[in-house]
Amino acid sequence: MGRADDDEYVAFVQPRMPQLRRAAYLLCGDWWRGDDLVQRALTDAYVHWGRVRGADSPDAYLRTILVHRFIDEQRAGWSRVKLVEATPEPGGDGGVEPAVSVDLRTALARLPVRQRAVLVLRFLCDMSVEQTAEAMNCSTGTVKSQTFAALASMRRLLARAEGSRHE
């Protein structure tokens, strides 16, 4: 890529970094692994900048790359290896009550990979059912059923967490 392409890439990526980091964090439940996911997605986007730039929705293309890297990582055995019990988390949750924030993250982390990806894409990234299906390389019916199942699981997990907080 030439200097103009590099500048265009940087101008595209910089304002999207906070949302990409948050999406990656919600997908994998760890800021550092999330940053690694973002880095791999951005590297792929850089290498294929012509395709990303020429896509109907470069934002959706970038989120698709991020989700694909996450799903690929989950298939690797090392993704389940825990070196430390808990890692400190940078930043805050924008004024959300800490206990609620922890409950949400814990519940999201307990969902199966594809259900977690559906919720992050649909509700954090504000993608339509069709865009989510395209990003996850599945049918719209699968997105709908995964969303339904994921929301039901989240409700159940959050109700359980709320009950245990009041005991």
61-107 pLDDT per residue, tens: 999 999 889 988 887 765 555 555 554 454 444 554 555 567 778 88
Query: Quick one: 111 and 36 in the same domain?
Result: no
Helix (H, G, I), strand (E, B) or coil at 4: helix
pLDDT of amino acid 88: 47
* Residue 163, both tokens: 């009950």
Query: Quick one: 63 and 129 in the same domain?
Result: no
Amino acid, single-letter form, for residue 45: A
Asked if 60 and 52 count as a contact pair (C-beta separation under 8 A), the reply is: no
Cα(23)–Cα(163) distance, integer angstroms: 28
pLDDT of amino acid 164: 66
Which domain-ending residue is among 52, 80, 108?
Answer: 80
Tell me which residue range forms the domain holding 167: 95-167
Q: What is the CATH number of the domain that holds 12?
A: 1.10.1740
Helix (H, G, I), strand (E, B) or coil at 112: coil
pLDDT of amino acid 133: 92
Global pTM? 0.58
Q: Which of 85, 140, 138, 82 is nearest to 113 (CA)?
A: 138
% of the chain with per-residue pLDDT over 70 = 81
Q: Which of 151, 119, 148, 153 is nearest to 135 (CA)?
A: 119
Which domain-ending residue is among 13, 47, 80?
Answer: 80
Asked if 46 and 6 count as a contact pair (C-beta separation under 8 A), the reply is: no
pLDDT tens per residue, range 105-152 = 888 888 888 898 898 888 888 889 999 998 888 999 999 999 999 999
Structure-derived torsion over alpha carbons of residues 106, 112, 115, 117, reported in degrees to the nearest 10: 80
Tell whether 89 is covered by a domain.
no
Other CB atoms within 10 Å distance of the CB of residue 147? 18
- Is the sign of the CA dihedral 24, 28, 30, 33 positive or negative? negative
- What does the angle CA 117 – CA 119 – CA 122 come to, to the nearest 5 degrees? 105
